[in-house]
Amino acid sequence: MNDALPTPPPAGPGLLLVHGTAGDSAIWEPMLPQWSDTRTVVAPDLAGAGSDEDPGELSVAGIAAQALAAADAAGLTEFDVVGHSLGAVVAAELAAAAPGRVRRLVLHAGWVRTDARQFAEFDHWIRLLRTEVDLFLGYLPLMAFGPRFWAAANESTTKELLELLRPGFRVAPTIRQIELDQRVDLTDRLAEISAPTLVLTSRHDRLIDCASQRALVSGITGATQAGLDAGHGAPAEDPAEFAAAVTAFLEEAR
């Protein structure tokens, strides 16, 4: 985790943003105007993203420790955490490992334990990446975006998205992240989370179904749930709706 999204000088409570698999901190850029004027925003790249070149096996606990180190480097003592997809898994682990540091927690498109169908999905991703990278990149929007996005799309949409995704994409680090997706198991960690938690689900998530996400609600004491009219990639599909839901929850404490 060598790179981080540049943010303005410190401005209020801390906010740590944790991206998901095959992405990087740039996913948060459209939402920064809603947060950076009133918060100290820290958006690190996970191990396997940015310029990270470490070939070693990843762990949820290890990436959570890296995210915590990014908050430390920014001078944050207490902070809110928002995690998307694998980033939600990491955010949950961070909240369990450092309960005195996390004020409020938002988990979008996260899951408790990788089941057989999810494992097979992730295995398919790895096979695509080892066969033809463009097939994987072309599949991502089909998996990530919901009906509203595709209703406004046309015949050139997938090609245009492929052109956006292809530059800078790196296969080996992404495979390391996907292999970590296959090993996710927070079963024994959820009871350690004490921060007020919002589980933000996407109604059209084709990767992590709502039942898997609701397991986070039942496993975290006092957790609440809200829904988005989007797919798994809601932060990219509809950043305004995503940011509004996050902000509403975080502002409850102020």
What pLDDT is stored for residue 137 in this prediction?
95
Selecting among 24, 45, 52, 205, the annotated active-site residue is 205
pLDDT the model gives residue 50:
53
Task: List, for residues 51-84, the tens digit of each pLDDT value.
Answer: 555 667 899 999 999 999 999 999 999 999 999 9
CATH architecture assignment, domain 14-251? 3-Layer(aba) Sandwich (3.40)
HSE-CB of 111 using CA atoms within 13 angstroms: 25
Clarify whether 84 is annotated catalytic: no
Q: Where are the domains of the chain?
A: 14-251
pLDDT by residue (tens digit) across 81-117? Answer: 999 999 999 999 999 999 999 999 999 999 999 999 9
Write the DSSP string, 68-118: HHHHHHTT-SSEEEEEETHHHHHHHHHHHH-TTTEEEEEEES--SB--HHH
Percentage above 90 pLDDT, the chain: 82
Q: Is 205 an annotated catalytic residue?
A: yes
Catalytic residue among 85, 108, 204, 212: 85
Joined tokens for residue 99: 């309960």
Q: Is 124 a catalytic residue?
A: no
The catalytically annotated residue of 19, 84, 204, 232 is 232
Banded model confidence at residue 246, pLDDT cuts 50, 70, 90: very high
